[in-house]
Amino acid sequence: MNDYVTKPVDPQALAIALAKWLPDAPSIALVESSASRLAPDTPAAEIPEVPAITVFDRASFLARMMDDESLLHEVQEGFLNDIPGQIETLQGLVGRGETKLAGAQAHKIKGAAAHVGGEALRAVATAMEMAGEQGDQTKLEQLMPEVPRQFQCLKAAMEV
Whole-model pTM? 0.72
Q: Decide: helix, strand or coil at residue 124.
A: helix
What per-residue confidence (pLDDT) applies to 45?
A: 52
- Mean pLDDT of all residues in 49-56: 68
Which residues in the chain belong to E strands, given as ranges?
Answer: none
Residue 147: domain span? 58-158
What per-residue confidence (pLDDT) applies to 3?
A: 73
Tell me how far apart the alpha carbons of residues 61 and 77 are, in angstroms, rounded to a whole number: 13
In a domain, 2, yes or no: no
In a domain, 22, yes or no: yes
User: Are 18 and 77 found together in one domain?
Assistant: no
Contact 51, 119 (CB under 8 A): no
How many structural domains is the chain composed of?
2
In 3D space, the residue among 48, 54, 51, 34 whose CA is nearest the CA of residue 119 turns out to be: 54
